Structure 1
Amino acid sequence: MRRARRRIAVITGVMITLLVTAVGGVADLVMRHAQSEQMWRELRHNAAHGDLSSPPVCTRLYAPGATPHADLPAGFPVRADLERVRRTGEAVERTVRRDRTVYLVRTQARADGNVVQAVFDMRFQLADRTHMWFALGVAEVAGLLIAAVTGAVLGRLAVSPLAEALARQRRFVTDASHELRTPVTHVYTRAQMLSRQAAAGELPAAHREGLARLVDSAGRLGEVLDDLLLSAALAAGPARPAERRPVDLVALARSVVAGESDRTRDGRLTVTVDSPPHPLFVDGIESALRRAVGELLSNAISHTPAGGRIQVTLLRRGGGAELTVTDTGPGFDPAETERLFERFHRGGHGGRYGLGLALLREVVTHHGGTVVAAGRPGRGARFAIRLPECSPAPAAAPARRVRAGRG
């Protein structure tokens, strides 16, 4: 929601900036054209009829034999133009840039045969253009301030209904997940008890397979509810400082691998953990990080065929902690890399990823980290989590013994 509001404010500011710039550009073109037409018109008239002894303001007139004005700019008259007009009889016009200003120069022969050169100083017109652009700059700054306020108001008004709808959706997901968790837990527990009774021979053998499927389905439903609750908690905002603490990523990863030992043994998979001898601490919520690492390992187990290998590697890199899970499964098309993290994405090899990888990215991003995936069809997959490293929690100070003295 905050990004949407900022985007609306930025778009509004850019539009106002472009509008003011466009207006300034059009005004500058119109002013330049109007000034140019007027100045050349006056210059031609003064060159043909102006009084040599009393020229108009901003105009200097020079003619051979006439006394030049004391304030005639340096470098004038342009003698090459005088010689050319005497030789050809045709008028010559040019623009001269000198002394931080611009001069319009026209040299022509008058009706009486005298050759006259008129010089127009544009310094006042140039100053008008500078003042116009300064005014436009002030208007631009004021426009940007107005755009920021307008964008913030528009963003809030435009995004508020969507934010309210999302908040209601999150509350519904959280409430529904909480309400469903208890009955699902009861179903799962009851199904486990019936499955044990069936295994002990207390129930007919025909029900054993159905009970096993019921236990598996209830367990998966519980995992989905946990994922929904965690996703809603992450979307609600950053965790409170009291909920975060330094977590040893090495110990957590080894614990997760040990917890999946039954699945890896049943699937005849070889899982190895390569980690440094020292801890790697990251700041975060241990339950959420455990869920993320568990999802990576569970995903690798689900997609690795019997007899395959899974490698879990932990190391320190660039001031952060990196956990990598590599498997020898079917891999995936590199073009699907980003889509793997979409909810309930189904890969090209029929692999379904559900909420897990999408939730994994939410957890890692919530902890200020990144997750990347790499793989090729038939060559396995590699998922890497990178998290900022932190210092271990300070050890609690030992209690000091106080010996009571005699009064």
Structure 2
Amino acid sequence: MSASASGERVAVRRARLRVAVLTGAIITLLVTVVGGIADTVMTRAQSDQVWRELRYGAARGDLTSPPVCTWLFARGATPLANAPAGFPVESDMRRVHRTHESVERTVRRDDTQYLVRTQVRADGKVVQAVFDLRFQLADRRHLWFALGVAEVVGLLAAAATGVVLGRLAVSPLAEALTRQRRFVTDASHELRTPVTQVYTRAQLLARQAAAQNMPAPHRDGLTRLVGSVGRLGEVLDDLLLSASLAAGPARPADHRPVDLVALARAVVAEEADRVRDGRLTVVVDGPRHPLFVDGVESALRRAVGELLSNAVGHTPPGGRVEVALARARGTVTLTVANTGKGFDPAEAERLFERFHRGGSTGRYGLGLALLREVVTHHGGTVTATGRPGHGARFTIRLPVGGSPSVSVPPPGGRTPRLAPRRVKAGRT
């Protein structure tokens, strides 16, 4: 699977997950808010009611027959047999007796809470009323348990709703991406033939113009036309290759052992004219024995050609390009380094974005983005390092492949050779 297709699928999954998470978060927030409001209202209502009853009991309650869950204590009065231990609170009794000011407090004891009010009655007697909040606390626990159950049910409902909503909401996006890839493939296929015909016709016209010694402006215009149509064809090739990679993994029959050393040397040979015109030095540093990787030869040739063309295009006259190949720890490494302009290290990752415009190159294109797609499609990685004025280095790492099986030579004893294809310059 290509990097772009994988990225699209990841984006769709993330969008669906985001919808589910947001739905769950909203339901959780609603349940929490409702629970908090209910708990606050219940707690305040219970507290107000209990304090009213407690104050009434402390002021007028019968010491021998207090209300339910309430106990009354006074000097000289015998407390009820079921009175909780530790009461009355003697410090409050003495304080009220001394100051004649009422005292209220909350006491935690025996896994429950007690509200305590101590005051002086109209007859001058100091009375302490104690109320047990056991049942009120149980009601609050039951409320939060019910809210917890509601939360779990809500989350399950949110998960189911989120999945449904995610699919309904994101399906148009996934369908749009699929249609986009299909359109790119169909359009590229439909345009490839007429573009090829135009390219061929432009070449013929350019040769005829040169043979007939037509005016220089005409010849230059035809030469530029040939170059423009050629670049258009290369863009179409890029789109077709990208679309084929986005369609999914290649069939096993499409993969075969490819000698990366021989492929690199062949690509360097294809760039011989540009190297000579640019007065460059290109060095291939690799072992004499083959380094095989499993993959599609045409796609790998395009990737290596993109790196070399990129290096040649950004190396000034008299510069040097080095192509190094090696094997280490189950991977085959191909590095292309040049003595060109280099680039800002902060742009290293952005170089592989489609149509990225680098600050030093000012070029748009698919080259390096397609390169990463090809390498990722083959289970490898590609990295870029460089500094302004100190050149650039691109490194491809691919898993080591198996050796090719012995095949019968074609008639005539010669191995067919792929027609050389000019690879367009990319960008650093």
User: What TM-score results when the alignment is normalised by the length of structure 2?
Assistant: 0.75
Q: What residue number does 2:162 align with?
A: 151
User: How far apart, CA to CA, are the structure 2 residues paired with 1:78 and 1:239?
Assistant: 85
Q: What residue number does 1:36 align with?
A: 47
Question: Is the contact between residue 294 and residue 402 of structure 2 (CA under 8 Å) also seen in structure 1?
Answer: no
In terms of mean alpha carbon deviation, does 268-277 or 23-32 score higher? Answer: 268-277
Superposed, 1:33-182 pairs within 5 Å as 33-182=44-193
Name the amino acid aligned to 2:84. P
User: How far apart, CA to CA, are the structure 1 residues paired with 2:134 and 2:258?
Assistant: 71
Distance change (3 Å), C-alpha of 1:208 and 1:150: same
User: How far apart, CA to CA, are the structure 1 residues paired with 2:327 and 2:61?
Assistant: 86
Superposed, 1:352-391 pairs within 5 Å as 352-366=363-377, 371-385=382-396, 389=399
User: How far apart, CA to CA, are the structure 1 residues paired with 2:55 and 2:327?
Assistant: 80
* Structure 1 position 228, deviation (Å): 0.7
Q: What residue number does 2:8 align with?
A: none
Q: What residue number does 1:269 align with?
A: 280
In structure 2, the residue corresponding to 1:332 is in which secondary structure?
Answer: coil
Question: Is the contact between residue 292 and residue 403 of structure 2 (CA under 8 Å) also seen in structure 1?
Answer: no
Name the amino acid aligned to 1:106. R
Question: Is the contact between residue 43 and residue 120 of structure 1 (CA under 8 Å) also seen in structure 2?
Answer: yes
Question: Is the contact between residue 340 and residue 353 of structure 1 (CA under 8 Å) also seen in structure 2?
Answer: no
Question: Is the contact between residue 256 and residue 404 of structure 2 (CA under 8 Å) also seen in structure 1?
Answer: no
Question: Is the contact between residue 293 and residue 402 of structure 2 (CA under 8 Å) also seen in structure 1?
Answer: no
Distance change (3 Å), C-alpha of 1:149 and 1:379: same
5+ unaligned residues in a row in structure 1: which ranges?
398-407
* Structure 1 position 120, deviation (Å): 2.4
Within the candidate set 296, 311, 314, 2:307 is matched to 296
In structure 1, the residue corresponding to 2:305 is in which secondary structure?
Answer: helix
Distance change (3 Å), C-alpha of 1:67 and 1:314: farther
Distance change (3 Å), C-alpha of 1:120 and 1:220: same
* Structure 1 position 367, deviation (Å): 5.4
Distance change (3 Å), C-alpha of 1:343 and 1:16: same
Question: Is the contact between residue 369 and residue 385 of structure 1 (CA under 8 Å) also seen in structure 2?
Answer: yes
1:229 aligns with 2:233: no
Q: What residue number does 2:415 align with?
A: none
User: What TM-score results when the alignment is normalised by the length of structure 1?
Assistant: 0.79
Question: Is the contact between residue 43 and residue 106 of structure 1 (CA under 8 Å) also seen in structure 2?
Answer: yes
Deviations 1:226-260 (A, max 9, x none): 21112223333455566557767666656544554
User: How far apart, CA to CA, are the structure 2 residues paired with 1:41 and 1:368?
Assistant: 76
Deviations 1:67-92 (A, max 9, x none): 33444334333222222222222122
Within the candidate set 196, 200, 203, 1:185 is matched to 196
Q: What residue number does 1:402 align with?
A: none
Name the amino acid aligned to 2:16. R
Q: What residue number does 1:20 align with?
A: 31
Distance change (3 Å), C-alpha of 1:191 and 1:11: same
5+ unaligned residues in a row in structure 2: which ranges?
1-11, 407-428
Name the amino acid aligned to 1:153. V
* Structure 1 position 208, deviation (Å): 6.5
Distance change (3 Å), C-alpha of 1:17 and 1:110: same
User: How far apart, CA to CA, are the structure 2 residues paired with 1:276 and 1:44?
Assistant: 98
Distance change (3 Å), C-alpha of 1:396 and 1:385: closer
Question: Is the contact between residue 54 and residue 131 of structure 2 (CA under 8 Å) also seen in structure 1?
Answer: yes
Q: What residue number does 2:228 align with?
A: 217
User: How far apart, CA to CA, are the structure 2 residues paired with 1:321 and 1:73?
Assistant: 82
User: How far apart, CA to CA, are the structure 1 residues paired with 2:52 and 2:198?
Assistant: 97
* Structure 1 position 352, deviation (Å): 0.8
* Structure 1 position 332, deviation (Å): 2.8
User: How far apart, CA to CA, are the structure 1 residues paired with 2:60 and 2:289?
Assistant: 97
Distance change (3 Å), C-alpha of 1:319 and 1:43: farther
Distance change (3 Å), C-alpha of 1:63 and 1:333: same
Number of aligned residue pairs: give it. 394
Query: Percent same amino acid among aligned pairs?
Result: 76
